[in-house]
């Protein structure tokens, strides 16, 4: 009997140990820190290391701590079970080996929460934390892609300006505060059903000191010493703590000591979902910051990164390039994205610089994500003429053809587009027909389906749409010094009409419309005066990635300045939602009219909706409606879903304007 009890006790201990070393089954994470009965299991992949030590810290600022030798398996996985450990533990790893620097203790690349310091090295500790959250029945929105109306937003910018009226400006909790002018309240008022946030996973937000030597580099380009947009990522599983209640903007301060970002970001997502707004995360999977003490650099750079023949990092504009075709890197990416879908209920992803991914990697990513959520939203930047290739793989991509046919050349203002009563060289009315019908392959476009076409007039990169119009029309020059921001965004009749015509095309064309924050009130990006030595203060900024100031912060007073344009967008969004013909029609459903005017386009959709567009800035378009009576819903000044007037026969469309009619 005693033997049996001893055997039973031994078996229970063995089974308990086995249970301790199981990977997290519901999250699919291969590595990281896992809370188990009786302690914490730590797992790290470091195949080239000779010794790895788990380091437990007492405080974030500690440079050393209690060390525990980890045990290596044959496949290079190191593990340690810390008995009696629990939430609140701060930890890191010290590695020894040919590719390691044992003087640097690195954080866990699989950190679920991080405590980071506001320095250019982005010094970090990993935080063990419970990720429990009461979702109250929440799940993915699962919106048909063709029904999406996306708003691109920077979470901090949407509430940081005093005009937002929030108690916690620039934060997760501030974004969902009630009784404010910005944040979620504005998205609800505008009527969009998806928000694409600029990066929300942990990133290096401090760049190297300006005009001082640091780490063998001298920063000559960024006097702000900031990375505001977030395209220098560090931890792919941890939310950015700078936006949390325990975040700080003070140099050398620590962010995220209480791990509040996890609960607060989940609250943002749950609240957005309650208001029928999907959440799309802007993610960077092809590179990491080239300044910070990123763990993967110090664990095994040869395994994770693209290197030159001398073993140096290959880099591009934003950081060191990951080897995304390597199975371990790809596994890291897949597990990260799945984690955000399962743990945070994220509905989809916008991939920064997706064109850097190989076709095989892009296909594998989409396949794996659809195994978790078959309706996951996936699109990205398929530059270098890879949009067609990505569409064949099932990805959406930013539709530069849509932008350029309407606006003109991105950089050469002499090559103007339809909104200016012109076409770029080698373009004509057929290109306009192509973009309004979804930019489809075989019809002059690149996409297999309209659900792959992310139509846009502006995104965070380059000059914003109305600044582009101001520059291309000659209203402003790049060297103008603008002193009165509100006066600057006052719309001339010419710029107003180009804005309304562009909005009309964007929100009545087949494909997925994307609106960048501020586009709908003709916002501007003027370099704001700060204590930084920027000689370009007062000029229009085509790339304000580094400015956590009023260059980017949304001043909600501006919406009142151009409320007529905001109302135009709001009503067009309602129109698009009401009439599925505007988003779910095929080429066969659309019939173009034979109009002689070079910049006049007319067409009907399912013989129920008729649209006219007049890009000429001098000539009135005289056109005939199909037989019967038609209720006009849209003109160049307003949108009225109850109807502006009932007409039949011939109608006149004024220069630089459009009209929408519904059959009565």
Q: What is the pLDDT of residue 9?
A: 38
- Give the rounded percent of residues in the chain with a pLDDT score beyond 90: 94
Q: What is the pLDDT of residue 385?
A: 94
| Strands of the 124-127 sheet, one edge to the other | 66-69, 51-57, 90-96, 124-127, 114-117, 254-255
Q: What is the pLDDT of residue 282?
A: 98
Tens of pLDDT along 46-82? 999 999 999 999 999 999 999 999 999 989 999 999 9
pTM for the model stands at 0.94
d(CA 119, CA 205): 8
Tens of pLDDT along 431-452? 999 999 999 999 999 999 999 9
Phi, psi values for residue 339, rounded to 5°: -60, -45
First to last CA, the chain: 90
DSSP string across 435-480: HHTT-BTTTTS-BSSGGGEEEES--SSSS-HHHHHHHHTTS--TT-
Tens of pLDDT along 228-259? 999 999 999 999 999 999 999 999 999 999 99
- Helix (H) / strand (E) element for 567: namely helix 563-578
- Give the rounded percent of residues in the chain with a pLDDT score beyond 70: 96
DSSP string across 170-187: TSHHHHT-SS-SSHHHHH
590-663 CATH pick, 3.30.70.360, 2.60.40.1180, 3.40.50.10490, 3.20.20.70: 2.60.40.1180
Residue 403: name the closest of 9, 138, 387, 259 by CA.
387
**pLDDT of residue 185 exceeding 80:** yes
The superfamily in CATH containing domain 2-127 is Immunoglobulins (2.60.40.10)
145-581 has which CATH code?
3.20.20.80
Determine the average pLDDT of the residues in 516-544.
Answer: 97
* Residue that has been written with the tokens 């063990």 in this structure: 128
Residues of the chain with CATH 2.60.40.1180: 590-663
Strand pairing report for 600-605 and 609-614: antiparallel
pLDDT: which is higher, 355 or 17: 355
Determine the average pLDDT of the residues in 537-556.
Answer: 97
d(CA 583, CA 96): 57
**pLDDT of residue 505 exceeding 70:** yes
Residues of the chain with CATH 2.60.40.10: 2-127
Instruction: Give SS3 for 599.
Output: coil
Distances (CA, A) of 176 to 166, 191, 278: 9, 16, 14
Average model confidence (pLDDT) for the chain? 94
**pLDDT of residue 13 exceeding 50:** no
Lowest mean pLDDT among 236-250, 308-322, 448-462: 308-322
**pLDDT of residue 14 exceeding 50:** no
Q: What is the pLDDT of residue 335?
A: 97
pLDDT band at 28 (very low <50, low <70, confident <90, very high): confident
Residue 349 pairs in a beta bridge with: 281, 378
**pLDDT of residue 458 exceeding 50:** yes
Residue 413: name the closest of 463, 359, 351 by CA.
463
Residues of the chain with CATH 3.20.20.80: 145-581
Phi, psi values for residue 292, rounded to 5°: -80, 170
d(CA 87, CA 92): 15
Determine the average pLDDT of the residues in 653-663.
Answer: 98
Q: What is the pLDDT of residue 147?
A: 98
Tokens for 1, please give them: 């009997």
């Amino acid at each position: 009997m005693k033997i049996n009890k001893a055997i039973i006790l031994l078996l229970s201990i063995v089974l308990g140990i086995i249970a301790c070393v199981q990977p997290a089954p519901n999250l699919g994470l291969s590595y990281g820190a896992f809370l188990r009965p009786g302690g914490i299991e730590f797992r790290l992949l470091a195949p080239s290391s000779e010794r790895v030590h788990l380091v437990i810290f007492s405080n974030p600022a500690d440079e050393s701590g209690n060390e525990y030798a980890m045990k290596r398996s044959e496949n290079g996985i190191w593990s340690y079970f810390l008995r009696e450990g629990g939430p609140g533990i701060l930890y890191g790893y010290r590695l020894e080996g040919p590719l390691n620097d044992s003087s640097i203790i690195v954080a866990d690349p699989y950190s679920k929460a991080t405590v980071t310091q506001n320095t250019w090295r982005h010094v970090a500790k990993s935080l063990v934390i419970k990720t429990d959250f009461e979702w109250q029945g929440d799940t993915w929105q699962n919106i048909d892609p063709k029904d999406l109306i996306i708003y691109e937003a920077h979470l901090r910018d949407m509430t940081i300006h005093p005009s937002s009226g929030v108690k916690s400006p620039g934060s997760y909790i501030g974004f969902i505060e009630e009784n404010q002018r910005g944040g979620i309240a504005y998205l609800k008022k505008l009527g969009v059903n998806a928000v694409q946030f600029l990066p929300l996973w942990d990133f290096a937000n401090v760049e190297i000191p300006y005009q001082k030597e640091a780490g063998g580099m001298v920063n000559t380009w960024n006097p702000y010493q900031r990375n505001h947009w977030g395209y220098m990522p560090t931890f792919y599983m941890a939310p950015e703590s700078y936006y949390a209640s325990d975040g700080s903007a003070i140099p050398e301060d620590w962010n995220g000591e209480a791990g509040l970002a996890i609960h607060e970001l989940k609250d943002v997502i749950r609240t957005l979902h309650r208001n029928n707004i999907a959440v799309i995360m802007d993610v960077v999977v092809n590179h990491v910051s080239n300044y910070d003490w990123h763990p993967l650099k110090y664990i095994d750079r040869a395994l994770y990164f693209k290197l030159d023949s001398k073993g140096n990092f290959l880099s591009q504009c934003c950081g060191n390039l990951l080897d995304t075709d390597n199975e371990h890197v790809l596994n890291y990416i897949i597990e990260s994205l799945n984690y955000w879908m399962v743990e945070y209920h994220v509905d989809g992803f916008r991939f920064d610089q997706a064109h850097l991914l190989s076709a095989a990697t892009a296909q594998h990513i989409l396949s794996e994500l659809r195994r978790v959520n078959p309706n996951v939203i996936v699109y990205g930047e398929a530059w270098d003429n890879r949009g067609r290739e990505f569409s064949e793989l099932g990805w959406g991509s930013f539709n530069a053809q849509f932008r350029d046919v309407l606006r003109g050349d991105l950089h050469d203002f002499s090559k103007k587009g339809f909104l200016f009563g012109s076409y770029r060289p080698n373009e004509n009315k057929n290109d306009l027909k192509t973009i309004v019908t979804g930019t489809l392959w075989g019809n002059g476009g690149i996409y297999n389906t309209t659900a792959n076409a992310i139509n846009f007039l502006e995104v965070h990169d380059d000059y914003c749409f109305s600044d582009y119009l101001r520059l291309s029309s000659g209203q402003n020059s790049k060297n103008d010094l603008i002193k009165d921001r509100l006066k600057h965004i006052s719309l001339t009749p010419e710029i107003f009409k180009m804005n309304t015509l562009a909005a009309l095309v964007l929100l009545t064309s087949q494909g997925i419309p994307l609106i960048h924050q501020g586009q709908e009130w003709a916002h501007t990006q003027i370099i704001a005066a700060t204590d930084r030595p920027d000689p370009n203060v007062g000029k229009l900024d085509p790339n304000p990635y580094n400015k956590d100031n009023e260059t980017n912060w949304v001043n909600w007073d501006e919406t009142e300045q151009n409320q007529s344009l905001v109302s135009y967008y709001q009503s067009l969004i309602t129109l698009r939602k009401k009439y599925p013909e505007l988003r779910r029609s095929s080429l066969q459903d659309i019939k173009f009219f034979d109009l002689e005017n070079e910049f006049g386009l007319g067409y009907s959709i399912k013989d129920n909706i008729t649209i006219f567009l007049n890009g000429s800035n001098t000539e009135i378009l005289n056109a005939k409606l199909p037989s019967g009576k038609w209720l006009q819903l849209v003109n160049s000044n307003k949108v009225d879903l109850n109807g502006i007037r009932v007409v039949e026969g011939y109608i006149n469309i004024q220069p630089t304007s459009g009209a929408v009619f519904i059959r009565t």
